[in-house]
Amino acid sequence: MNPVRRAVPEDAEEVLRLRQVMLDAVHPGSPSDWQSASLPALRARLAAPDGDFAAYVVDHPERPGALAALVVGTLEYRIGGPNRPPSGVIGYVFSVATDPDARRRGYARACMDGLVDWFRERGAQYAMLTASPDAEPLYASMGFTRDPAPSMRLHL
């Protein structure tokens, strides 16, 4: 039996908890006061099964009501180009997290497989992500390669 399922609005608090686990791993001491303000928008996204947002989760085997692993992604449109698909549809993976007491069981890989299948079903030609050094072997084993393109950010 496949333990992976698509997240639903009732999972929103656990999704945010696992996102904080990921943030703490990448940026120790990250603030967590953002969660309550993010909850309504996340619940709405999780309630829209035909939207451009999806989260795949595995329920924690030892803690009822808790999630063991999480992968979140979005579909984006970008104008086609020499290094982009003509359709312009790409997948973007973020918020990959596994509860510390549920690691090394294949849950993140299973969630990634679910999200990648969703990307394919929705017409994405490729997927992008930002990998931490600890997670890079998992992504490389799935066929992801390093992308040298730099990024910048403007806060609006």
Phi-psi group of 25: left, alpha or beta (phi > 0 → left; psi -120 to 50 → alpha; rest → beta): alpha
pTM: 0.89
Residue range 11-64, pLDDT digits in tens:
999 999 999 998 888 888 888 788 899 999 999 999 998 999 999 999 999 999
In a domain, 40, yes or no: yes
Strands (E), the chain: 4-6, 53-59, 67-77, 89-98, 127-128
The pLDDT assigned to 136 comes to 86
Question: Which structural domain range is residue 136 located in?
Answer: 4-141
Residue range 61-90, pLDDT digits in tens:
999 999 999 999 999 988 877 777 677 888
In a domain, 149, yes or no: no
Mean per-residue pLDDT for 97-110?
93
In a domain, 150, yes or no: no
- For residue 1, pLDDT over 60 is answered with no
In a domain, 84, yes or no: yes
The pLDDT assigned to 61 comes to 92
The pLDDT assigned to 156 comes to 61
CATH number, residue 19: 3.40.630.30
Burial (CB count <10 Å: 0-12, 13-18, 19+), residue 125 = middle
In a domain, 123, yes or no: yes
- For residue 129, pLDDT over 60 is answered with yes
- For residue 149, pLDDT over 80 is answered with no
Judge whether 67 and 99 are in contact, CB under 8 Å: yes
Q: Which residue has the tokens 């120790």?
A: 28
DSSP state at residue 93: E
In a domain, 148, yes or no: no
Residue 97: pLDDT band (50, 70, 90) is very high
Span of 62-71, 95-104, 147-156 with lowest mean pLDDT: 147-156
How far apart CA 141 and CA 127 sit, in angstroms, is 15
DSSP output for 50-90: TSSEEEEEEE-SSSTT-EEEEEEEEEEE---BTTB-TT-EE
